Amino acid sequence: MRIGITYDLRSDYLALGYSAEETAEFDAEVTIDGLCAALTNMGYEVDRIGTVKKLIERVAAGDRWPCVFNYCEGMYGLSREAQAPAVLEAYNIPFVFSDALTMAVTLDKAMCKRIVRDCGIPTAAFAVIERLEDADRIDLPYPLFLKPVAEGSGKGIGTNNRVSDKAALKASAADLLARFKQPVLVETYLPGREFTVAITGTGDDATVLGVSEIVPLSGYHGDGYGLVNKEDWDGRLDIVGAPPADAKASGEVALAAWRALRCRDGGRIDIKYDGNNVPNFIEVNPLAGLRPEYSDMCFISTREGLSYQDLIGKIMASFWKRHPECKP
C-alpha cells in the first residue's frame, strides 16, 4: 500500500534565503529519512510529496493516496499548519495527525487557551496585544510573559519576554510585533517547574507516553524554553524524567487538554507550575518534533524503552484505529 508524506525541509528554505529563526520549525533530512524508513518497515511504499504547494500540484494532477502522513508545517499565515490538512480533507484523503480545525486553533495560542480555559483546565490568565496601544489596556498582575501568538520551536522567546512593569511590557510587545507581524500573547508569569508531556492516541484512547522535566542550568538563555535553549541545550538545560507525582499531575492536565482540543494520533503538551504548585497548560504541539535522538518526544520514547520504530508504530496504530482500511 502506498502512503504519501508531506513535510517542509529546513535546508530547502535556507537555500532560498530564509533565516535560521524563520526556518526553526522545519525538518532536517534525518527526520524525514527516519519517518520514511519507519513507514517502509510497516509495509508501506512511501511517496515523498513535500510541501503543501507540492501537495496541491499533485492532487490537481490527479494523484491520490490511500493515506498521507501529514508532517507539513506550512510557511505563511496564522493557520499555516491547517493548510495541508484542509487540502487533504477537500479530497477525502485520510491522513495522520490532527484535522484542519484543531491545527488552526492550536497554532493560535490565545484561541487555544480560550478553549482550554472554557473546559476548566488550568492555564495562566492572559490577554492579547494586536497593536502597541493595546498594551495600555493590559490589566494583569506583574510579572508577565510575552510571546508571539502563533509560533513554535521557541521562536520569539529570549531575554526580554518576562517583564515587570509597563515600560518593559511595551518594549517587549513592540519588538515582537515588529519582528513577527502577528499578535502577541501576554500571560501571567508562571514561576514553577516546567514539563513536557508526550501523548499518543485519540480521544478516549489517548494515553500519556511519558513526561520530561525541563531543568534550567547556569547557561539557560532568558526566562523560557526558547529557540536558543532548544537548539543549543548543552550547558543550558537538562531534560530528565519527571518524578512520579509530577508526571501524574502534569499528565492529567495534558491529557484533558489533548482531548478538549480533539488532537489525534500523537503530539506533545507543555505544562508549567504556578505559584501554588498547580500544573498549568502552556501550549500544545500536535505536530511534535520527531527527529531521532533530538526531539523531546523521541527523548521520552527512548526513556520509556521504545525504539523510534515503536514510537511511529504507536502513532500509526492510532491512525489505523480511525481508518482500519489503511492498514497494510
Lowest mean pLDDT among 44-53, 61-70, 211-220: 211-220
DSSP bridge pairs for 279: 273
Q: For residue 35, how many other CB atoms are within 10 A of its CB?
A: 23
Which pLDDT tens digit goes with each residue over 188-215?
A: 999 999 999 999 999 999 999 999 999 9
User: What are the tens digits of pLDDT across the range 78-132?
Assistant: 999 999 999 999 999 999 999 999 999 999 999 999 999 999 999 999 999 999 9
Which among 198, 208, 189, 150 has a CA at the least distance from the CA of 272? 189
Average pLDDT over residues 65-82: 95
Q: Domain spans of the chain? A: 2-97, 125-188, 194-326
Instruction: Indicate whether 223 pLDDT > 90.
Output: no
Residue 226 is predicted with a pLDDT of 57
- Nearest CA-CA partner of 48 in 58, 92, 266: 58
Q: Is the pTM of this model over 0.85?
A: yes
Over the range 97-126, which residues count as b (16 or more CB within 10 Å of their CB) and which as e?
Answer: bbbbebbbbbbbbbbbbebbbeeebbbbeb
Question: For residue range 148-197, what is the model confidence (pLDDT) as tens digits?
Answer: 999 986 788 888 999 999 999 999 999 999 999 999 999 999 999 999 99
Residue 201: predicted pLDDT? 98
Pair 170, 135: CB distance under 8 Å: yes
Q: What is the CB neighbour count within 10 angstroms for residue 43? A: 10
pLDDT at residue number 50? 96
In percent, the amount of the chain with pLDDT more than 70 equals 95
* Neighbouring-strand partners of residue 273: 279
Largest CA distance in the chain: 59
What is the pLDDT, as a whole number, of residue 231? 59
Alpha-carbon dihedral angle through residues 72, 76, 79, 82, given to the nearest 10 degrees: -20
Which of helix, strand or coil describes residue 21? Answer: coil
Q: What is the CATH number of domain 125-188?
A: 3.30.1490.20
Q: State the average pLDDT for the chain.
A: 93
Is pLDDT of 22 > 90? no
pLDDT band at 228 (very low <50, low <70, confident <90, very high): low
Indicate if the pLDDT at residue 60 is higher than 70: yes
pLDDT band at 37 (very low <50, low <70, confident <90, very high): very high
- ∠ CA(101), CA(106), CA(307), 5° rounding? 100
Separation between Cα atoms, residue 111 and residue 120, nearest integer Å? 15
Helix, strand, coil % over all residues of the chain, rounded to 5: 40, 25, 40
pLDDT band at 15; cut points 50, 70, 90: confident
Q: How far apart are CA 268 and CA 123, in angstroms?
A: 16
Distance CA 147, CA 177 (A): 10
Which class is 194-326 in CATH? Answer: alpha beta
Position with higher pLDDT, 156 vs 310: 310
- Whether domain 2-97 has CATH 3.40.50: yes
Question: Would you state the pLDDT for residue 170?
Answer: 97
